[in-house]
Amino acid sequence: MNTTKHLLSLTLGLALLPALPVGAQNLPAPSGATLVLKAGEPGPVINRNIYGQFAEHLGHCIYGGIWVGENSPIPNTRGIRNDVVAALRELHVPNVRWPGGCFADEYHWRDGIGPRAQRFKMINTHWGGVVEDNSFGTHEFMDFCEQIGTEPYICGNVGSGTVQEMMEWIEYMTSDADSPLANLRRKNGHDKPWKVPYLAVGNESWGCGGNMRPEFYADNYRRYNTFVKDYNRSNYHIQRIAGGSNGQDYNWTEVVMDMVPVSQMNGLSLHWYTLPTGDWKKKGSATEFDEAAWFATLRNTLRMDELVTKHSAIMDKRDPEKRVGLVVDEWGTWYDVEPGTNPGFLYQQNTLRDAIVAGLNFHIFHKHADRVAGANIAQMVNVLQTMILTDGPKMALTPTYWVFEMYKVHQGAASLPVELNTPDYVVGGDKIPAVSASASRDAKGKVHLSLVNTNPNQPLTVSCRLEGVGAKTVTGRILTAPAMNARNTFDSPDTVHPVAFTGATLDGATLTVALPAKSVVILEL
């Protein structure tokens, strides 16, 4: 048995997966799980920025996915797709990270302003070697943010840019003065300054952002940060996110935390991708996989808990007051690209397996709500573990999209402690917990409990004792499908989508949940 005690957001989000294909072992049903939900002992608030998104100039994320231009036959508002905007508004997206990723450290913002026909073109050397015409720049991105109701998270160019360039971009976007840069913004069509609440000072400076040593990056961060000015200090402070570690590089976190005063940064990033194989040269298929690959993917994604725990411990020694948030601003599954697509576009399908991965990671972030201040899944449209797939005028919502939609009740809610005792899901000689859970109470007093069953073969009964809840009713939704690799396509867009869940019963302070195999469930008490 695997026993865990952690903070669970009280929205019961259970990722329900379909049964294994023919050939799966007929294992005996494991014993049920037990859970104690302590609603009278609220923990830290789950930062809504944990549900952030990421849009990079990569493949068809921007062009074709978000931006089609004003003259496109695809319905749009000022060049931005109406269908994508409508879908994203339903997620209550808190922030969008842009323009990269690796692209950010070769992006020069002045190339993306002014009349589009006169904008400077460049080669996107990181992603497919295609010509970037910069028709989607600062004004278009800010318009997109306003249309979907989110806040911009700008990633600045440290790798190939200059201090002056970043300083002037901030002034261009946020200053209301009668100054040359603010007036240039007005000339280009936007009178009032935008609010830029989050700024990343570089991206992956240990790799594509400059191949820097942590000491060199820390000195650069201090220098660049000095010239990030708060032109609207009376209204808000730009939150500065320092470039953090590549996965388990704990030395990077130690050096940056030692060399950069806590007073000079608000966040430190962490990047970690889930690969089924752990081998970047052959990562595995997004859609054609067996139970061994299913299990390996979930086992590898659960490493996020270890990474967050160890990086948080390093930060705690230097920042016991937790003033610097850990921002996991790139995470998600990464598979081999879909056959027949440009390998530089990172296009992959999205199955029920990805929905389970999303649910598990959110539970980890909720568990560490005292330190994790944000996260951005990679990426928003048509790239990696995406929310939305498009093909010309066609659009399909992925299983991952639906987990974001189901779990949005956790945003900004107080985490609630849960004590979970779960059987293991065993494959070969390895095992992972069969059930994952998280709970929270929102501002209106509603308690939500989310549950994930990682076992693709066996349903489980979860017996919950509710302390301090006083619930009269329980309602829920479930996400599952008949096959592990079930997915939504343009021809069959509703294969995997949430439906009403009737497997939960409430008897006083006892909640009993019949949790299907390979499922995600969200309950409201």
Which of 299, 297, 351, 305 has the alpha carbon at shortest distance from 328? 305
Eight-state DSSP code of residue 42? -
Q: What is the DSSP string of 6-69?
A: EEE-SS--EEE-PPPPTT---PPPPPPEEEEEETTS---B--GGGGBEE--SSTTSSBTTTB--
**Residue tagged 């009737």 (tokens):** 502
Q: What is the DSSP string of 196-261?
A: --EEEE-S-TTTTTT---HHHHHHHHHHHHHT---TTTTT--PEEEEEEEETT-HHHHHHHHHHS-
Phi, psi of 169 (to 5 degrees): -65, -40
338 belongs to the catalytic site: no
**Residue tagged 């995600």 (tokens):** 520
Cβ-proximal residues to 296 (8 Å cutoff; 6+ apart), any chain = 276, 277, 278
Which of 336, 351, 349 has the alpha carbon at shortest distance from 294? 351
Contact criterion met (CB below 8 Å) for 275 and 283? yes
Q: How far apart are CA 160 and CA 203, in angstroms?
A: 11
101 upstream amide cis, omega within 30 of 0 = yes
- Find the catalytic residue in 171, 204, 405, 524: 204
- Find the catalytic residue in 330, 338, 419, 467: 330
419 belongs to the catalytic site: no
Q: Which residues are catalytic?
A: 204, 330
